[in-house]
Amino acid sequence: MSNNDDAMKTPTSSFCVICCMMVAILLTFSACHRKTSYPKELKVADSLANVKPEEAITLLQGLADAMKTAPLSTQMYYRLLCIKANDKAYIPHTTDTLILPILHYYEKGGDPSLLSMAYYYAGRVYRDLNDAPQALDYFQKGLQAQVDGDESMGAVLYAQMGEIFFNQSLYDEALDMYQEAFRLDSLAADTLGIILDLRDIAFTHRMQSQYDEALPLLQQAEHLAQAIDDEEMVGLVASQLAGLYNRKGQYEEALEQISLALEHVGAVDLQSTYDVYANILLNTGKLAEAEGYFEQLTQADDQNIRLDAYDGLATIAASRNQVEDYSHYFRQYKAVNDSIQRVAATTSVSRMNALYNYQLRERENAELREKNQKDRILFISIASAFLLIAVASWAFYRHRRLQMHHRLEQVQRLQAEQYRQSEAFIEANRKEIAQLQSQLGEANTQNKELILRLEMQKEHLERSNRLAEMKIEQREQTKKAIQESAVMAHLQELVANGQHIHPEDITEVLSLLHDVCPDFLSSLDQLGELNELEYQVSLLLKLGISPASISQLVLREKTTISAVRRRLYKKITGQNGTPSDWDEIILSL
């Protein structure tokens, strides 16, 4: 009897346990997927921030007191919206102390639908702080945390990643990101997003001198902006088209587009539009008008616009043979450029480290998942090892190839720049000016368009010659300053006495070069990493010391110095060359 009773109780007890477990699972599932509700005012502020951020800021400020006693989830959403509204209003982020507690909250279990948004604004904060690697990491995490079906958030994340790669001159990677943003905005039927994506893709092509690829994209963006009757978008795209036509030398089209841009462009893009207009005026010979705009743009918030402004002013001063003004603007140009390069160099090193850490974490996660599949662990481990080796080898090869390509391009730019600052360049321009003068004399006086074009070409060549002559004079003054310096006298004394240099001598050489030609040291660093001997040889070559004297100063054989110079040329350009080829590169920096 007792046995039967036990037998009857067991199924019933098991059934009860199973029912309880199912109820618990359902409750847990329901709790995990229950959507957090927020006050209506915050939802309004969220939507308002996208179109009228200043009004959103005012609304949020009015809710500050009420938020002090609100639930934690509501407080965090409010604080996130404050950062969003400021960002949409183009108020720069100056610290990460506001976003980090918010990000930590959503990472540790806050509303999962807001995690991607929190990562996005964390990335925006670090972008404003010039920490591109950290910004990139957060944008990537934002993609991973993205809620399915939210194409708009994915699009802006990819667009921001594209901007980071663009600012690092990684144009191929930037194009990949912008095109993915375009795909997602197209899926979401976000016309404004599509216009901005087309602009970004076109501008990236333009930076690679791919003008034929850029033009149809901007024309498509122009058509869309006109179709939705958005004046600011019409002005924005027109400004981009004007810049493109200016680059292509189609000045009539450029002037037509810039007039449209100035009529419609919004306040946010006004300075960049003025920059385009100033360059068009410069290229069409309207120097006085261009000078006025460039002077105004020296106060721009964007360092790249200020850089372009000082470059334009220096060009105008050179065309007028105003030596003092040219020197002033050139110094200002160098100061802004040095500031930009300092940020870029720091970001480049940090970016590679951040990307490596990100890939390392991803590999560790993959290995952890593999351990859970015990029946396939051996096969997967071997396959992963081979794949990792293949990917690492390919990545290393691609990195080296890109690095060599960039170095070769830089050397070619230096050689081209050296030619544009040579007597041969001036003489070639003089011959062409003489031909133009002859054509002007033969031209029909009624063909005003031909005469205007010939005169503009002649003025451009004359301006280029004046600039080249100033550069040559500047270079001669630099050589004279080096030859008459106490550092050079000391080195010549060492050579005469058969002595060698000491570390403090190299310090003095660096100080001298920094004073008389500061761009040389940064340009030399950008060519590639040099060992101590290669660096010393290059510095002494820049001072004009002969290879034979260098061999004595650094305690090396003459053949060793020749081999170092030949090896450096091969190392930087990837091509075989003579020791003198490296000397020419050094002298051209």
E strand segments, 513-573: none
Instruction: Looking at the structure, tell me whether residues 424 and 510 fall in a common domain.
Output: no
The mean-pLDDT minimum among 138-152, 320-334, 358-372 falls in 358-372
523 plus 433 within the same structural domain: no
Give yes or no: residues 448 and 527 share one domain.
Answer: no
What letter does residue 35 receive in the DSSP assignment? P
pLDDT value of residue 534: 86
- 445, 480, 515 - which closes a domain: 480
Is the pLDDT at 451 greater than 60? The verdict is yes
- Is 469 exposed, middle or buried, given 0-12, 13-18 or 19+ CB atoms closer than 10 A? middle
Do 518 and 460 belong together in one domain? no
Residue 572 has a pLDDT of 80
Confidence tier at 414 by pLDDT (50, 70, 90): low
> Where does a domain end: 480, 502, 532?
480
Query: In whole angstroms, what is the distance from residue 489 CA to residue 504 CA?
Result: 15
User: Where is pLDDT greater, at 3 or 49?
Assistant: 49
In percent, how much of the chain has pLDDT > 70? Answer: 84
Domain assignment present for residue 391? The answer is: no
At residue 7, the pLDDT reads 39
Distance (Å, rounded) from C-alpha 39 to C-alpha 366? 41
Residue 407's contacts (CB-CB under 8 Å, 6 or more residues apart) are 527, 528, 572, 573, 574
Rounded to the nearest angstrom, the gap between the alpha carbon of residue 307 and the centroid of all alpha carbons in its chain is 15
Judgement on whether residues 548 and 572 belong to the same structural domain of the protein: yes
| Residues 468 and 503 placed together within one structural domain of the fold | no
Which of 457, 480, 503 is a domain's end point? 480
Q: In which domain, by residue range, is 583 found?
A: 485-588
Residues 474 and 553 both lie in one domain: no
Asked whether residue 562 is assigned to any structural domain, the reply reads yes
The reply to whether 464 falls in a domain is yes
Q: How do residues 264-310 score in pLDDT, each as one tens digit?
A: 877 667 888 899 999 999 998 899 998 999 999 999 888 889 998 99
Q: Are 126 and 134 in contact (CB under 8 A)?
A: yes
Shared domain for 470 and 562, answered yes or no, is: no
If asked whether residues 562 and 549 sit together in one domain, one would say yes
Question: For residue 11, what are the CA distances in angstroms to 1, 19, 20, 271, 442?
Answer: 17, 12, 14, 79, 113
Based on the domain organization, do 445 and 490 belong to the same domain? Answer: no
Could you tell me the CA-to-CA distances from 303 to 97, 124, 344, 377 in Å, in that order?
A: 25, 18, 12, 53
Number of domains in the chain: 2
For the beta carbon of residue 55, count every other beta carbon within 10 angstroms. 15
Q: Read off the pLDDT of residues 73-111 as tens digits, 9 standing for 90 and up.
A: 999 999 999 999 999 988 999 999 999 999 999 999 889
Residue 325: alpha-carbon gap to chain centroid = 30
pLDDT of residue 446: 65
Residues in contact with 521: Cβ distance below 8 Å, sequence separation at least 6, in sequence order: 510, 513, 514
What's the full length of the chain, in residues? Answer: 589
Q: What gap in Å lies between CA 283 and CA 302, rounded to an integer?
A: 22
Count Cβ atoms below 10 Å from residue 47 Cβ, excluding itself.
11
CA atoms within 13 A on the CB side of 27: 6
